[in-house]
Copies of this chain bind each other. A is one copy, B any other.
Amino acid sequence: MLTERQRMILNAIVDDYIRSAEPVGSRSISKRGDVGFSPATIRNEMADLEDLGFLEQPHTSAGRIPSHKGYRYYVDHLDPIYEALPTEQSTLRAFFAEKLNATEQVIQHAAMILSHITNYTSILLGPEVFHTSLRHFQLLSLNETTAVAIIVTSTGQVESKTVAVPPGVSVSEMEKVVNLLNSKLINVPLYKLKSRLYRELGQEMQRHLTNFEEIMSILDNIFVDTDTDQRVYLSGATNMLNQPEFKDVDKVKDILDLLEETPTLTKMMAATQGAAGIQVRIGTENNHEAFANCSLITATYSLDGEALGTIGILGPTRMEYARVMSLLGILSKDLTIMLSKLYK
């Protein structure tokens, strides 16, 4: 589709623009050395690239900037063997040297490191509780009307939920249920918990319990959120303010607002959950008005070969794709290794 020379020129323009955030002119490309042509020749090619939709011109007599299509081409044809700087790699490795023994801590800390190294905003999705399994269940009554349910998952996460207990349900009855769950449903994945509960234990419970209906509704209540609730960790949101394209408050306000909306974030991050490798969504590919000038790069970490969560970096469309992709690749692999060490 593009000639080799066009490819090189497009590449040079994107590179330059990523560094400078200013429209790139034919002269500066020519001077770089890696494209050995005169400005005039490059101008001709640039005009062609603009016709093809890879470049844009803010106004006549300005240089060119990459269009979304241009970024997309750039990313799709990126040199795959690019390696992050050794200093960055070592910072990242140092993180894994630290002894952290709770999943949540690990993820949270990873988010911080990632935003610090990259100078962009990091968004991490915690382990998908959905796919972990039940390790221990407990119901503790707080007073006459409320109780707290505690679920410990196979990854050592502790989820708790306070629920209302209808009058008439006794402590001893609840204990029966808890014992039943702990003896029969250990190691069942959480997303199967509800159906297994009904299918296998329904009859037995009905026999043992006088307030079957009420107790079932309590359990429903407990498991309703737990299995969709993927915790999202955000770090370095204010790094957005460092970007020259967002030096105008109005432009960055919508972005930061959206970052405060955890449900939306979760949904956005989960969109590529399961896809292998490193995903890049450029500008409008994010399907959010506010992120029209942002790119999101994501990777997945896993446990036992099953995707657990997602790590991502949000930056301007003019972001250092190669560097960030390399770093995310390293971190996702290391997270996978670290988590499996923790829970094997």
Q: Are B241 and A253 in contact (CB under 8 A)?
A: yes
**A64: Cβ under 8 A from any B Cβ:** no
**A138: Cβ under 8 A from any B Cβ:** yes
Q: Are A136 and B143 in contact (CB under 8 A)?
A: no
**A142: Cβ under 8 A from any B Cβ:** yes
How many copies of this chain are found per oligomer?
A: 2
Residues of B within 8 A of A265 (CB): none
Grouping DSSP codes into helix (H, G, I), strand (E, B) and loop, the A interface class, with mixed when no group exceeds half, is mixed
Residues of B within 8 A of A163 (CB): 101
Q: Are A342 and B260 in contact (CB under 8 A)?
A: no
Given A238-B256, A241-B249, A249-B247, do A140 and B152 touch, yes or no (CB 8 Å)?
yes
Q: Are A152 and B148 in contact (CB under 8 A)?
A: yes
Given A102-B162, A162-B101, do A135 and B140 touch, yes or no (CB 8 Å)?
yes
Q: Are A150 and B158 in contact (CB under 8 A)?
A: yes
Given A158-B158, A164-B101, A241-B253, do A136 and B146 touch, yes or no (CB 8 Å)?
no
Given A102-B162, A164-B99, A164-B101, do A152 and B152 touch, yes or no (CB 8 Å)?
no
Q: Are B252 and A237 in contact (CB under 8 A)?
A: no
B105, B158, B252, B260: the one within 8 Å of A148 (CB)? B158
Residues of B within 8 A of A344 (CB): 143
**A156: Cβ under 8 A from any B Cβ:** yes
**A198: Cβ under 8 A from any B Cβ:** no
Q: Are B246 and A260 in contact (CB under 8 A)?
A: no
Q: Are A142 and B156 in contact (CB under 8 A)?
A: yes
Complex interface residues of chain A between 126 and 179 (CB less than 8 A to chain B): 135-136, 138, 140, 142-143, 146, 148, 150, 152, 156, 158, 160-164
Q: Which residue on B lies nearest to A260, using beta carbons?
A: B238
Q: Can you show 22 pairs from A to B with CB atoms below 8 A apart? A: A99-B164, A101-B164, A102-B160, A102-B162, A136-B140, A138-B138, A140-B152, A143-B343, A143-B344, A146-B156, A146-B342, A148-B156, A148-B158, A150-B150, A158-B158, A158-B160, A235-B260, A238-B260, A241-B249, A248-B249, A249-B249, A256-B256
